[in-house]
Amino acid sequence: MKEKLVTLELALEHGLTPEEYENICELLGRTPTFTELGLYSVMWSEHCSYKSSILELKTLPTQGKHMLAQAGEENAGLLDIGGGLAVCFKIESHNHPSAIEPYQGAATGVGGILRDIFTMGARPIAALNSLRFGSLSDPHQRDLMRGVVRGIGDYGNCFGVPTVAGEVYFDMSYSGNPLVNAMAVGIVPVKAVARSAAKGKGNPVFIVGSSTGRDGIHGATFASEELSERSSERRPSVQIGDPFKEKLLMEATLELVASDALVGIQDMGAAGIVCSCTETAARGKVGIEIDVDKVPLREPDMIPYEICLSESQERMLVIIEKGKENIAKQIFEKWELHAEPIGEVTEGGRFTVTRNGQIVADVPADSLVLGGGAPQYKRPSRKPFELEAHKHFNPDHVPEPADYSKVLAKLLASPNIASKRWVFEQYDHTIGANTMVGPGLSDAAVIRVPGTQKALALTVDGNGKRVALNPRRGAELAVCEAALNVACTGGRPIGLTNCLNFGNPMDEEIYYFFRETIAGMGQACRALEIPVTGGNVSFYNESKNESVMPTPVIGMVGLLEDFSLATPTGFQEEGDFIALLGTQGKDLGGSEYLHLFHDLISGPVPEINLERHKALIQLLKHLTDNRLIRSAHDISDGGLAVCLTEACMPKSLGAVLTFPWDLRPLEILFAENASCVVVSVNGDLWGKFRDACKKFDIPVKMLGRVGGETLAINDWLVLPVKKAEEIYEKVLPDIMEQVEELSV
C-alpha cells in the first residue's frame, strides 16, 4: 500500500461525511496526514464510535447495586456476586465477517469476545452464541451454518472454554446477512480486576501476543456499511483466528495481571493499535506516543497507516510500570509470545505516531474516541405504516386445524424449534468441569462458579419476529423471556448485556425500530430491576437493500447461591403433578404456528404485564430455593404443546393432561404466551406449592400428571414421546448431513 494525498474525495472514500472531514481539519488546524485520515475514518466509523446509537443507549438503566463498572467504562460488564468475586460478561456481533468468510468470521468473533473478558483479569468460564441464518433449504445457508458452527467450535474448543448455551433461528430476512453474536462470561476476584486506563508519564507501552499483519485493515469500516455483491472483495478485511495463540495470550495476561508490574491493559480488536492506544489514553487523561518501527510485523513493508489500523488477532496493549519491564518480558517469554515496547505514556493527551524518527500522526487522543470527540447523531425516525396494520390482525379469524397432533409434529420438525444437538455437540460444553446443566437440558445453562457453591444461570435470547411486529413490546418480551429462562433454572437475574442487530440507521423506519427497541428494553429492565452492563450495536445488516429483521439479542446472567438448586426443564418422576403458572391469552400473533401454517408474520404480539412478570420471577426463585418444584420450562416458541413435549423428552417421560379451558384449543396449544411456566411438582408438596403461588399472587392451573410413554392433552392430541424425540432430533442432522452437490 502507498500513501495517498489527502483530499475531501479521499475522506469520502474512507466513509467520512464532508462535515466530519471539515471537523477533523478544524480540530487539527490543518489537513490531516494520510495516517491521521485512517485513524479518524476507522475511529469515527459506526462500529467504533456508536455515533448513531450512543444517545439512545444512554437512556438504558445502567445502575444497580452490584455494578462494579459502568457500561462503556471497561471492556465488559462487571457485577459483584459476593464472596469477593465478580462476574464479567459481554456479547458482540461478528455478522459481516461471517457473511463472507463464515469460518474465520465466527471464530474471530469468539476470539474477540474472550479477549474482552480476560483483558479484565477474568478467566472465561463460559461462552454462548446466538445465530441467525436464512432458510436451510438454500445450500448457501447450509454452507454458512456449517462454517459458522465449525468456526465457533474450533476456536472455543481449542481455547478451552465451554460453549454452554445458545440459540439458532432461520428466517428469509437473514439470507444475505447472517447474524453471529458471541457472548463470553468470566470470573475475577474483585480485588484483581485489571483496568484499562493508561497512567504515569514515562511508563512503557508494550504490544504483546501475535505480530501485526495486513489482515483486518478497515474491518471496523467494513462493519459500518451494507453488504453488497462487492463485499466478497472485502475478504481481506476478515481477520484470521489462532485460538492456540489466544490461549497462551490469556495465560500470560492473567499472570501479568497477578504481578505488580501492570498499570493498564486493553485488548486489540476493531481498529487495532489506534483504538487500544487512544481509548486507554483517553480513559487515563494522558497521551501515548508510539514508534511503529518497533511493532513486530508479519510483512516488512507495511506503512504506518496499515500498522495502526491492522486488526490482526490475539494482540494486547499493556502499560507497564517503569522499571518493571523485565517482569512482563519474562512472563511473555515463558509463553513464547512477543512483548515489545513500542512507546510510552506522555502528558498532554496526544496520540503520536512516529516512523524513522518522523512524526506521521499527532492528534488529540480524546478527539478520536467515543465519549470524547467522536461524533454523536440523533437520527430522524419514522413509524412504518404497516405496524398499525399488524395490530388490526384478528387472531380469531385463524381457523382451527383439523389434527392437533399433526400440527405438533410439524412444529417439532421446524428447524426453529427442533433440537439443536447437531450444533451444540460440535462445541465442548463440559470442559472446565463446572457445567451443571448444559445445552438442551434447561432454559438456561447452569455453570458453577469455580471453587464455590455458587453458580451462574446463563442464556441468550431474542425473537426478531416480535420486534418486527411491535418493537417496543417485542424488546420488552425479549428481556422478560431471558429473565424468565434464568428464573426457571433457579437463578436470580442480576444483569444483562445486549447485541442490537439492525439495518441501516440512516433509514428512518429502521431507526424507528431501533429507538423503540431501546425504549422497550429500558422499560423492562427498570421494571424488573435488571441493569444493562454493556453491549454492542450492529447496524448495516443489509444486503441488496433488504434489511434483517430488527433483532435485539439479550444475554442474561443469573445467580444461584447454591448450585444444587439448579432446576431442569424436563419432568423428573412419574406421578408428579404438572401445573401452569400464569394465565394464557389469545397470543397467536407472531407465533411459529402462524408462520409455518399460514405463512404469516403478523398479529399483535403477546401482552405482558411487567409487574406480574416480576412477581412470577420472584415466585420461581422461592419455589426453586425451597425445592418445591422438580422442573420448570417457560412457554416460548411453538406454545404450550411444544413446551410440554420439551419437558417430556429429556427423561423420556410421558404426561397425561386433562384440564378445563376457556380459549380455543388452537390458542391454548400453540399461542406463544408471555409469563407462563410449566412446572412439575411432587404430589406431597402440592399444598406448600399452592400456598407459595397464592402468596405471590400468581394463578396456578393444574394440568395433569407425569407418566406413561405418551403426551396426551385433553382429547385433542396424542403423541408418543419416542416419536416426538425422533422427529425433534432428526431434523437438523438430516438437513445438514445431506450430500451436497459441488458448485463450480
> Which residues carry out catalysis?
47, 94
The set of cell numbers assigned to 201 is 508519564
Query: Which residues in 90-125 are b (16+ Cβ under 10 Å) and which e?
Result: bbbbbbbbbbbbbbbbbbbbbbbbbbbbbbbbbbbb
User: CB 212: neighbour CB atoms within 10 A?
Assistant: 25
Interface stretch with other proteins, choices 486-494, 649-657, 697-705, 728-736 (CB under 8 A): 728-736
243 binds other proteins (CB under 8 A): yes
230 exposure class (CB count in 10 Å sphere: 0-12, 13-18, 19+): exposed
Q: Is 247 in the site for other proteins (CB under 8 A)?
A: yes
CB of 160 or CB of 200, closer to other proteins: 160
CB of 336 to other proteins, least distance (A): 6
**Restricting to residues 33-52, which ones interact with other proteins according to CB under 8 A?**
none
3-class secondary-structure state, position 681: strand
Decide whether 127 or 641 has the Cβ nearer to other proteins: 127
> Least CB distance from residue 248 to other proteins, whole Å?
6
Residue 743 DSSP SS3 = coil
Check binding of 154 to other proteins (CB under 8 A).
yes
Distance CA 52, CA 46 (A): 7
CB of 730 to other proteins, least distance (A): 7
Q: Does 14 bind other proteins (CB under 8 A)?
A: no
Handedness of CA 387, 388, 394, 399 (dihedral sign): negative
Burial class (CB in 10 A: 0-12, 13-18, 19+), 544: exposed
Q: Does 330 bind other proteins (CB under 8 A)?
A: no
Helix axes 721-736, 139-159, angle to 10 degrees: 100
Nearer to other proteins, 60 or 721 (CB): 721
Helix (H, G, I), strand (E, B), or coil: what is residue 96? helix
**Alpha-carbon span 16 to 39, nearest angstrom:** 11
Identify the residue among 20, 92, 242, 516 touching other proteins (CB under 8 A): 242
**What residues between 156 and 175 interact with other proteins by CB under 8 A?**
157-160
Q: Which residues contact 279 (CB under 8 A, 6 or more apart)?
A: 196, 266, 369
* Closer CB to other proteins, 335 or 696, in the complex: 335
Sole binder of other proteins in the list 102, 112, 151, 153 (CB under 8 A): 153
- Residue 739 within binding range of other proteins, rule CB under 8 A: no
Cβ 333 to other proteins shortest distance, Å: 10
Residue with smaller CB distance to other proteins, 382 or 627? 627
Question: Are residues 640 and 427 in contact, defined by beta-carbon separation less than 8 angstroms?
Answer: no
Q: Between residues 495 and 568, which has the closer beta carbon with respect to other proteins?
A: 568
Give the residue with the Cβ less far from other proteins, 326 or 564.
Answer: 564
Q: Does 248 bind other proteins (CB under 8 A)?
A: yes
CA–CA distance, 713 with 708 (Å, rounded to integer): 13
Q: Which of 214, 234, 245, 472 binds other proteins (CB under 8 A)?
A: 245
Task: Identify which of residues 125 and 648 has a Cβ nearer to other proteins in the complex.
Answer: 125
256 binds other proteins (CB under 8 A): no
Q: How far is the CB of 158 from other proteins (least distance, A)?
A: 4
Q: Which residues of 260-274 are buried (b: 16+ CB within 10 A; e: fewer)?
A: ebbbbbbbbbbbbbb
Q: How far is the CB of 362 from other proteins (least distance, A)?
A: 40
Count of residues that bind other proteins according to CB under 8 A: 35
Q: Residue 362: is it exposed, middle or buried by C-beta count within 10 angstroms (0-12/13-18/19+)?
A: middle
Q: Is 389 exposed, middle or buried (0-12, 13-18, 19+ CB in 10 A)?
A: exposed
64 touches other proteins by CB under 8 A: no
Asked if residue 327 binds other proteins (CB under 8 A), the reply is: no
Neighbours of 598 (CB within 10 A): 13
Q: Which is nearer to other proteins, 84 or 450 (CB)?
A: 450
Per-residue cell: 518: 431501546
- The answer to whether 335 contacts other proteins (rule: CB under 8 A) is yes
Cell of 295: 511493532
Kindly tell me which of 220 and 436 has the beta carbon lying closer to other proteins: 436
Centre a 10 Å sphere on the Cβ of residue 38 and count the other Cβ atoms it contains: 25
Largest CA distance in the chain: 84
**DSSP line for 31-86:** PPPHHHHHHHHHHTSHHHH-TTTHHHHTTS----TTEEE-TTTSSSEEEEEETTEE
Among 172, 597, 733, 735, binds other proteins (CB under 8 A): 733
Residue placing its CB nearer to other proteins in the complex, 205 or 436? 436
Task: Kindly indicate which of the ranges 95-103, 217-225, 241-249, 256-264 contains the residues binding other proteins, using the contact rule CB under 8 A.
Answer: 241-249
3-state DSSP call for residue 423?
helix
Q: Which residue, 403 or 737, is less far from other proteins as judged by CB?
A: 737
Structure-block grid coordinates of residue 446: 447452569
What does the alpha-carbon distance between residue 648 and residue 667 come to, in Å, rounded to a whole number? 21
Give, as ranges, the residues between 557 and 596 that touch other proteins (CB under 8 A): 563-564
User: Minimum Å distance from CB 453 to other proteins?
Assistant: 9
Q: How far is the CB of 427 from other proteins (least distance, A)?
A: 6
Q: Read off the DSSP letter of residue 451.
A: T
Distance CA 645, CA 569 (A): 10
In the window 421-480, what residues touch other proteins (CB under 8 A)? 424-433, 436, 450-451
Q: Cβ 563 to other proteins, closest distance in Å? A: 8
CA distance 486 to 122: 22
Q: Which three cell numbers stand for residue 257?
A: 495481571
Least gap, CB of 86 to other proteins (angstroms): 20
> Minimal distance in Å, beta carbon 426 to other proteins?
5
Any residues with CB less than 8 A from the CB of 379 and at least 6 apart, and which?
A: 52, 505, 506, 508, 511
Closest CA to 517 of 496, 535, 536, 502: 502
- Determine the Cα–Cα distance for residues 28 and 648; give it in Å rounded to an integer: 67
Minimum Å distance from CB 254 to other proteins? Answer: 12
Interface map 282-321 toward other proteins (x if CB under 8 A)? ----------------------------------------
Can you tell me which of 244, 330, 359, 574 binds other proteins, judged by CB under 8 A?
Answer: 244
Burial of 413 per CB tally in 10 Å (0-12, 13-18, 19+): middle
Query: CB of 90: closest distance to other proteins in angstroms?
Result: 21
Residue closer to other proteins, measured from CB, 176 or 570: 570
Instruction: Note the residues at the interface with other proteins (CB under 8 A).
Output: 150, 153-154, 157-160, 242-245, 247-248, 334-336, 424-433, 436, 450-451, 563-564, 729-730, 733, 737
